[in-house]
């Protein structure tokens, strides 16, 4: 019984201390946006890295999500004789939920994991310590440009996902299942309001900041891994970064949605 209490206490303290450490890291990372020199170039580089790496995946997943939504939506709406509302169903599903969540998960899998692995290797090969000994703010140099890039890339990729998804929905609904194209696009136009688009972009930006901060934290502290060292620690921290970011994107999705519904 005492052993169990000890274990519970240790786990709780570990969790609280972990949250505190993450909060401090995040605060320092956001504050460091003000400090580094020649930040613009590094932000452009980060935008290029995050944006181009994920573009093909966003294109494919966006089109197929729209295709599936069109197909499933058509058969559900047909039961109620409301095929004309297919555009509304596809667009609202995409704009309010699926595009920000799926695009962020794709970005976490590609850009987030790459960031965690890169920082983990830089930690292992003393590159981060070298920066600190040079008097360079390592968070400002390595993390701040990625955070600013995420603020741009996540909403842009989400918008792209929405557009491709709508085209996918039109393709399956109009071209394959016979819903009138004019009816489809008119339904899209009538259903989507400014607040839906605002929700979409707020979610995308929030998911971007949250997931890139988590991935950066895991990679930056790859040397703290208790179960492994060296390459295995980098691998473990990358896995943890992707898993935690994905979970937190879904948690944040619920929290943000509850404010808008």
Partner 1 sequence: MGAANTDFLLSVEDLHKGFDGRPVLKGVELGVPRGSVFTVMGPSGTGKSVFLKCLANVLQPDSGRISFDGVHLSARDHAARADFRRRCSFLFQSNALFDSLTALENVALPLEQTTSLSDRKIRERSLEALQQLELDNFRDKYPGQLSGGMQKRLALARAIVTHPELVIFDEPTAGLDPLRRNAVFEMIAKYQRRFSFTALIVTHDVTEALIASDRVALLNHGTICFEGTPSEFSASGHPVVSDFRDSSEALGHSLALIRSGEASKKQTSPLAST
Interface residues with partner 1 (CB under 8 A)?
36-38, 118, 122, 125-127, 129-130, 132-136, 141
Give whichever of 124 and 239 is closer to partner 1, judged by the CB atom: 124
Least distance from partner 1 to the Cβ atom of residue 107, Å: 20
What value, to the nearest 5°, has the Cα angle with vertex 74 and ends 69 and 80?
A: 130
Closest to 242 measured CA to CA, from 139, 69, 148, 114: 114
Nearer Cβ to partner 1 (36/51)? 36
Least spacing, CB of residue 106 vs partner 1, in Å: 23
- Whether the CB-CB separation of 115 and 238 falls below 8 Å is answered with no
Distances (CA, A) of 90 to 102, 185, 249: 14, 11, 22
Taking the complex as a whole, how short is the minimal distance between the CB of residue 54 and partner 1, in angstroms? 19
Dihedral of CA 104/227/10/29: which sign?
Answer: negative
Rounded to a whole number of angstroms, the minimum distance from the CB of residue 60 to partner 1 is 27
Tell me if 119 sits within 8 A of 13, measured CB to CB.
Answer: no
Of the two residues 111 and 170, which places its CB atom closer to partner 1 in the complex?
A: 111
State the nearest-atom distance from the C-beta of 105 to partner 1, in Å: 26
Which of 2, 59, 18, 7 is closest to 217 using CA atoms?
18
Looking at the Cβ atoms of 125 and 181, the one nearer to partner 1 is 125
C-beta closer to partner 1: residue 130 or 176: 130
Looking at beta carbons only, is 136 or 156 nearer to partner 1?
136
Cα separation, 106 vs 204, in Å, equals 12
* Token couple for 65: 């999500």
Query: Is residue 192 a contact partner of residue 119, using CB atoms and an 8 Å limit?
Result: no
Q: CA 204 to CA 58: how far, in whole Å? A: 14
Q: CB of 232: closest distance to partner 1 in angstroms? A: 18
């Amino acid at each position: 019984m005492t052993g169990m209490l000890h274990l519970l206490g240790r786990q709780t303290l570990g969790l609280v201390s972990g949250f505190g450490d993450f909060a401090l890291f995040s605060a320092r990372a956001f504050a460091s946006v003000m400090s580094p020199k020649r930040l613009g170039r590094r932000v452009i580089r980060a935008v290029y890295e995050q944006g181009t790496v994920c573009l093909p995946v966003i294109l494919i997943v966006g089109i197929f999500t729209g295709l599936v939504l069109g197909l499933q939506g058509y058969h559900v709406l047909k039961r109620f004789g409301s095929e004309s509302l297919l555009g509304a169903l596809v667009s609202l599903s995409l704009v309010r939920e699926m595009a920000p969540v799926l695009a962020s998960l794709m970005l976490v899998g590609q850009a987030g994991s790459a960031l965690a692995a890169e920082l983990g290797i830089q930690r292992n090969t003393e590159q981060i310590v070298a920066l600190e000994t040079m008097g360079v703010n390592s968070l400002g140099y390595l993390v701040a440009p990625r955070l600013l890039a995420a603020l741009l890339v996540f909403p842009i990729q989400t918008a792209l996902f929405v557009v491709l998804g709508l085209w996918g929905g039109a393709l399956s609904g109009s071209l394959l299942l016979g819903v009138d194209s004019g009816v489809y696009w008119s339904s899209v136009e009538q259903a989507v309001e400014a607040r839906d688009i605002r929700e979409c972009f707020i979610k995308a930006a929030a998911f971007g900041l949250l997931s890139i901060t988590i991935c950066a934290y895991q990679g930056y502290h790859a040397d703290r891994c208790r179960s492994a060292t060296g390459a295995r620690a980098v691998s473990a921290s990358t896995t943890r970064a992707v898993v935690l970011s994905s979970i937190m994107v879904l948690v944040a999705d619920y929290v943000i949605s509850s404010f808008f519904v």
